């Protein structure tokens, strides 16, 4: 790292803290803090949605998956058409028209308080764990570049991101996400150009070698439920995974509730779904390119590295002066966009579903900021435990599938069935979560199936229980 690299990184941090703090003066109410006053442009919501998904987890983990394997992970996107229909026609209109801070408020209106609190608790557990992974990811790069202990980097990145998030609320999250998306995409384009420039034959060699090594393999037609990525798992498990990611996840859905109209909200969401699919293929192609590069230069010792360390190694050893600083900034951008979104969304759920529901006085912006700070400190403490769990991209996807399936099931049964009432829904929710735990700890089933099976168990058992239990009179007229 040279002075130029440090200047670039310094400019990045200055820009982000300036944008974040500039919104602090406009946060007069929780509506401003959590929903941005509902005047955010659709394209900014879209940029933020993309940046939240394109985290440092994907930024660093996806090239590692492609480096060690192929493109079969992307079969989960085969469920995209089904997910888009359900999201656009059913789930997003419900949430947008309700105009609530937390999407889980709907479950108390439709069912009862215990169902709302249970789902809110599931979301908070999911995102607090995910927060640890998101903070850990950029620390891998910084550790390799500077030899600084991961926990020191985690503290710095976590506290910095927490600072601008608690100051500016959702608007700070959305607008910093938009800037960060441009930076991280620019960094990736630079990486692939430099890598190809170092490979004898450039793009043609990458394609030829990748085809010979079967690195572009996309489809796996196995019927096995234990193989990680299959076509069947993509169509079914992938659809439920995307519903979990975009339909029941406050961190992702919240920015789409800040637009002026439902039409703009739908447009931003659909564009995010399509663009992130293309981005995923692009990042995987970078991993394939790095495989070809290090195959030409085996003496560099990358072929036997753990998947999480391949991309950081290329950044540290192969990039020229100035570009190295840009890539560090882009990795930090990817990480901080996700961390800020998670912090703001978990604060939203915690305040709306727990504090405001039970406290005598409604929460203030000051309390929301204090909650954000506390969550940031928890995420930092968890980051130190993430290094031994495997590829960070697959960790993130597994967490999402594990917790999200029961949420999808209870939301859909509430929106699509008038028959199911409170107690059956809660029974189904608890059983669905128990089934997810069973699959995760006691079976070899691929994690992509967790969400589908848990959602179906939740919805099916809810409906079955509603047939067996009497319907309360005060719920008979639910519309």
CB < 8 Å & 24+ apart, contacts of 106-112: 106/411, 106/414, 107/410, 107/411, 107/414, 110/414, 110/415, 110/478, 111/410, 111/414, 111/421, 111/422, 111/425, 111/426, 112/422, 112/423, 112/426
Using alpha carbons only, give the angle 343, 273, 445 rounded to the nearest 5 degrees. 80
Entry field: residues in the chain: 479
Residue 432 lies in a domain: no
Position 478 scores a pLDDT of 45
**pLDDT attached to residue 342:** 81
Structure tokens at 350: 């915690």
The verdict on residue 409 lying in a domain is no
DSSP letter string, 311-328: HHHHHHHH--TTHHHHHH
Whether 159 is covered by a domain: the verdict is yes
How far is C-alpha 349 from the geometric centre of its chain's CA atoms? 16
pLDDT at 477: 45
**pLDDT given for residue 340 in this prediction:** 78
Nearest in space to 52 (alpha carbons), one of 278, 256, 241, 352: 256
In this prediction, the residues of the chain whose per-residue pLDDT falls under 70 are 1, 20-21, 23-38, 52, 54-57, 59-60, 140-141, 144-146, 164, 167-171, 334, 384-393, 471-479
Q: What CATH number is given to the structural domain containing 257? A: 1.20.1730.10
- Structural domain contains residue 411: no
pLDDT at position 430, please?
93
Task: State pLDDT tens for residues 317-327.
Answer: 888 877 878 77
Looking at residue 388, its pLDDT comes to 55
Q: Determine contact, residues 447/398, Cβ cutoff 8 Å.
A: yes
Contact by Cβ (8 Å): 451, 240:
yes
| Count of other CB atoms within 10 angstroms of residue 470 | 8
Which structural domain range is residue 51 located in?
3-393
Q: What are phi and psi of 48, to 5 degrees?
A: -65, -40
Angle at 25 between CA 362 and CA 369, to 5 degrees: 45
* pLDDT for the residue numbered 30: 63
Q: Which residues of 294-326 are buried (b: 16+ CB within 10 A; e: fewer)?
A: beeeeeeebeebebbbbbbbbbbebbeeebbbb
431 lies in some domain = no
Number of domains in the chain: 1
What is the maximum span of the chain, computed from C-alpha positions, in angstroms?
A: 75
Comparing C-alpha atoms, which of 221, 216, 234, 218 is closest to residue 78? 234
Is 403 a member of any domain? Answer: no
Please tell me the distance from the alpha carbon of residue 246 to that of residue 477, in angstroms, as a whole number: 30
- Provide the pLDDT for residue 24: 59
Ramachandran region, residue 222 (left: φ > 0; alpha: ψ -120 to 50; beta: rest): beta
Asked if the structure places residue 44 within a domain, the reply is yes
pLDDT value of position 35: 57
In this structure, the number of other CB atoms found within 10 A of the CB of residue 4 comes to: 15
- Per the domain annotation, does 472 fall within a domain? no
Q: Give backbone dihedrals phi and psi of 69, rounded to 5 degrees, phi first.
A: -135, -125
What is the pLDDT, as a whole number, of residue 389?
Answer: 56
Alpha helices in 147-261 (DSSP H): 150-198, 202-212, 231-232, 238-247, 250-253
């Amino acid at each position: 790292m040279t002075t130029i690299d440090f200047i670039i990184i310094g400019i990045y941090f200055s820009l982000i803290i300036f944008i974040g703090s500039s919104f602090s003066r406009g946060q007069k109410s929780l509506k401003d803090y959590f929903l941005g006053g509902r005047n955010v442009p659709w394209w900014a919501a879209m940029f933020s949605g993309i940046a939240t998904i394109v985290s440092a987890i994907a930024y660093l983990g996806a090239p590692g998956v492609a480096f060690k394997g192929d493109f079969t992970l992307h079969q989960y996107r085969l469920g995209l058409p089904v997910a888009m229909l359900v999201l656009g026609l059913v789930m997003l209109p419900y949430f947008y028209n309700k105009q609530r801070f937390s999407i889980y408020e709907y479950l108390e209106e439709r069912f009862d308080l215990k169902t709302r609190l249970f789902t809110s608790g599931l979301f908070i557990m999911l995102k607090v764990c995910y927060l640890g992974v998101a903070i850990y990811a950029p620390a891998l790069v910084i550790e390799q570049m500077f030899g600084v202990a991961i926990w020191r980097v985690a503290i710095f990145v976590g506290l910095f991101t927490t600072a601008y998030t608690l100051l500016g609320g959702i608007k700070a999250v959305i607008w910093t996400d938009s800037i960060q998306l441009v930076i991280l995409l620019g960094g990736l384009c630079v990486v692939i150009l430099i890598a190809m420039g170092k490979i004898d034959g450039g793009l043609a060699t990458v394609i030829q070698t990748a085809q010979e090594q079967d690195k572009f393999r996309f489809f796996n037609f196995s019927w096995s439920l234990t193989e990680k990525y299959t076509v069947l798992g993509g169509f079914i498990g992938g659809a439920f995974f995307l519903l979990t990611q975009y339909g029941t996840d406050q961190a992702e859905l919240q920015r789409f509730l800040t637009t002026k109209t439902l039409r703009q909200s739908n447009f931003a969401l659909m564009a995010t779904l399509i663009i992130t699919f293309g981005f995923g293929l692009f990042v995987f192609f970078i991993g394939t390119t790095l495989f070809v590069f290090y195959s030409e230069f085996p003496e560099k010792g990358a072929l036997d590295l753990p998947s999480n360390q391949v991309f950081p190694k290329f950044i540290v050893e192969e990039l020229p002066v100035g570009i190295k600083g840009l890539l560090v900034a882009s990795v930090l951008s990817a990480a901080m966009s996700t961390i800020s979104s998670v912090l703001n969304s978990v604060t939203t759920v915690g305040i709306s579903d727990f504090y405001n529901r039970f406290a005598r006085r409604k929460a203030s912006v000051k309390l929301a900021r204090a909650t954000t700070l506390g969550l940031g400190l928890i995420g930092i403490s968890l980051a130190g435990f993430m290094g031994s769990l495997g590829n960070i991209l697959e960790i993130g996807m597994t967490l999402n599938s594990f917790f999200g399936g029961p949420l999808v099931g209870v939301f859909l049964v509430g929106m699509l069935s008038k028959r199911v009432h409170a107690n059956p829904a809660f029974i189904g929710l608890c059983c669905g979560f128990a089934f997810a735990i069973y699959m995760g700890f006691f079976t070899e089933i691929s994690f992509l199936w967790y969400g589908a099976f848990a959602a179906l168990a939740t919805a099916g058992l809810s409906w079955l229980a509603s047939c067996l239990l009497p319907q309360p009179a005060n719920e008979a007229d639910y519309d």
